[in-house]
């Protein structure tokens, strides 16, 4: 009889703690993801639709991954950079002699992967109309032409204001740098062929769409892309579910080069040089 009473008591205790465990609630988070959209409008630096300049050509790459250096929610069009809710700032280093993004510590994600997840309790309550995200790294596949044949290769594109690189890789190809590289540094390797190279786009050539250029400018050489919510994101502090913010980036003809052979094909061996690898616009969305 005593044994039976002990067993019953243990079962009651087990059920009590199990129920308590089930009742523990997880705090809701603000979650940030990226989306790459090839049909999204192609914008210029001030957020207006942009065509491809005469003498240049462009193509829409196949995106593999991306990284960002900075993420901010801004209440309105007059909120200056840094005066909104700054929710993320990637590690920087002085290893290259001046402040630079530490690529070795960068978080790199593919489309729809979680880039940022923070408790909503850490987000200042308010109504946010704009998003500002400083992009730092892109990895994408492109088609190139050589001697009349088309090949596929991969670009590693560094669009942040300044990036410290020890060594980075594309597939089996290593690129030792051990120093800082300014916005526009890139490396390229062919798929299944023993060819790799690197270069630097001209200073100031990387497109960084900012529709708030007149009311809330960004520093020259930065890659703070700005976009507006269709409906303001309102954080009340009483949320019980995650808020997911999706940053839809336009990759519409986002890689641009100077043409030598006027055929719309990227042909490095003919002297065609990359002049722009900037993203072409940001449309932020949320599920609230």
pLDDT digits (tens, 9 = 90+) for 46-82: 999 999 999 999 999 999 999 999 999 999 999 999 9
pLDDT band at residue 8 using 50, 70 and 90 as cut-offs: very low
Decide: helix, strand or coil at residue 190.
Answer: strand
Residue 163, both tokens: 């990036």
Nearest to 74 by CA among 66, 62, 82, 63: 82
Rg (CA), the chain: 24
Torsion over CA: 81, 69, 282, 199 (sign): positive
Element (H, E) at 70: strand 62-74
Burial 5-20 (b: 16+ CB within 10 A, else e): eeeeeeeeeeeeeeee
Q: What is the pLDDT of residue 111?
A: 98
Q: What is the pLDDT of residue 227?
A: 98
Q: What is the pLDDT of residue 18?
A: 52
Q: What is the rounded CA–CA span in Å between residue 165 and residue 169?
A: 11
Q: What percentage of the chain carries pLDDT values higher than 90? A: 83
pLDDT in tens, 10-52: 454 454 455 444 445 689 999 999 999 999 999 999 999 999 9
Is residue 255 a contact partner of residue 268, using CB atoms and an 8 Å limit?
no
Residue 119, both tokens: 């408790």
């Amino acid at each position: 009889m005593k044994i039976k009473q002990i067993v019953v008591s243990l079962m009651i205790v087990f059920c009590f703690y199990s129920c308590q465990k089930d009742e523990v609630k997880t705090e809701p988070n603000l979650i940030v993801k990226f989306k790459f959209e090839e049909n999204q409008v192609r914008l210029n630096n001030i957020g207006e639709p942009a065509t491809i300049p005469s003498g240049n050509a462009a193509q829409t790459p196949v995106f593999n991954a991306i990284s960002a250096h900075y993420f901010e929610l801004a209440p309105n069009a007059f909120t200056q950079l840094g005066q909104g809710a700054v929710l993320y700032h990637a590690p920087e280093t002085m290893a290259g002699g001046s402040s630079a993004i530490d690529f070795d510590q960068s978080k790199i994600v593919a489309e729809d992967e979680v880039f940022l997840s923070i408790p909503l309790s850490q987000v200042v309550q308010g109504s946010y109309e704009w998003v500002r995200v400083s992009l730092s790294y892109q990895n994408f596949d492109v088609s190139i032409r050589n001697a009349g044949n088309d090949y596929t290769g991969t670009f590693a594109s560094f669009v942040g204001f300044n990036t410290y690189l020890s060594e980075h890789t594309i597939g089996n190809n290593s690129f030792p740098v051990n120093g800082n590289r300014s916005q526009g540094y890139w490396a390229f390797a062919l798929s299944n062929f023993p060819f790799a190279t690197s270069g630097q786009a001209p200073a100031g050539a990387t497109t960084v769409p900012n529709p708030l250029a007149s009311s809330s400018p960004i520093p020259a050489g930065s890659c703070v892309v700005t976009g507006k919510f269709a409906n303001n994101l309102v954080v009340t502090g009483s949320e019980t579910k995650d808020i997911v913010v999706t940053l839809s980036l336009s990759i519409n003809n986002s890689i641009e080069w100077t043409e030598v052979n006027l055929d719309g094909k990227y042909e490095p061996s003919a002297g065609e040089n990359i002049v722009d690898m900037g993203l072409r616009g940001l449309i932020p969305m949320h599920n609230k």
